[in-house]
Amino acid sequence: MTPHPRSEHDDLGGLESRSARALSTALDRAVSIPSTTVHAYVQRIRRRHPRATPQQLVSHLERQYLRAVTGSGGAVGVAAAVPGLGTGAGIAISAGEVTAFFGASALFSLAVASVHGIEVDDVARRRTLLLASVLGVAGAELVQVEAGIPTSAWARALLTSAPSGTIKRVNGVLARRFVKRQATKEGALAVSRLAPFGIGALIGAVGGRAMGKTVVAGAARAFGLAPLAFPAAGPAIESISHRVIEG
């Protein structure tokens, strides 16, 4: 994976609030997931469903991802309702859940890219994919405006051939929109999860699934339909990890 000399905090355009820094840190961790982990995950799902077509495999990845984010979403409400733990534990877990959500979202979006034969090792391009997916339709529209790429199936063009300057500009716009939208959404969701008597578990699970569905829709819009057959060498054959595309 191509390292970057600094964090992407600069993409925040001066938004240095506590929530902005926390979200940026969570993103940094999420996009640093090793490619070997992504490949192993895709192959594991393929072994479970050996006769699945690429599009069916994407559907399996979607269901697995939604189960993961739904389960973690309810964990805070459960912890807050346990005697002896209370809301303090819930708040601590909630902070960790932000990182967990983005980690799961990064793994999912990179796995879908792998099924499409695209291996995204470059950190900046991974960040583009994750931010745009989490923003859903709004992310696709921002990509269209900033990069001049159609909002449907934009991922291959942007991730494999866009100049580095374009990637940097798109990431800046996506990050600023993301912080303003997600800090409010995740903050409200985190508070709701601390509701007493276990009600927060239900709210958190429903909210986590709703956020997950946005990511699933965003990834579907980014990549379009999966190819009819897997690449000859298996998923993830078009690597852009070491290609330098000057802007």
Q: What is the mean pLDDT of the chain?
A: 74
Residue type, 148: G
Greater model confidence, 27 or 72: 27
Alpha carbon distance 55, 46 (integer Å): 12
Looking at mean pLDDT, say which of 44-53, 153-162, 195-204 comes out highest. 44-53
- Residue by residue, DSSP assigns the chain as -B--SS-GGGGGTT---HHHHHHHHHHHHHTT--HHHHHHHHHHHHHHSTT--HHHHHHHHHHHHHHHHHHHHHHHHHHHHSTTTHHHHHHHHHHHHHHHHHHHHHHHHHHHHHHTTEE--BHHHHHHHHHHHHHTHHHHHHHHHHH---SSS-HHHHHHHS-HHHHHHHHHHHHHHHHHHHHHHHHHHHHHTT-TTTHHHHHHHHHHHHHHHHHHHHHHHHH-SPPSS--TT-S--EE-SS-----
Q: Which of the pair, 146 or 25, is modelled with greater confidence? A: 146
Non-local CB neighbours of 238 within 8 Å, separated by 6+ positions: 117, 118, 119, 160
pTM of the model: 0.74
> How many residues appear in the chain?
247
Query: What is the pLDDT averaged over residues 167-177?
Result: 90
Q: Which residues of 81-115 are buried (b: 16+ CB within 10 A; e: fewer)?
A: beeeeebebbbebbeebbbbbbbbbbbbbbbbbbb
Percent of the chain with pLDDT over 90: 34
pLDDT value at 242 more than 70: no
Between residues 133 and 200, which one has the greater pLDDT?
133
Q: Give 110's contacts (C-beta < 8 A, 6+ positions apart).
A: 33, 35, 38, 120, 126, 129
Whether 153 shows a pLDDT value over 70: the answer reads yes
How much is the CA Rg of the chain, to the nearest whole Å?
Answer: 18
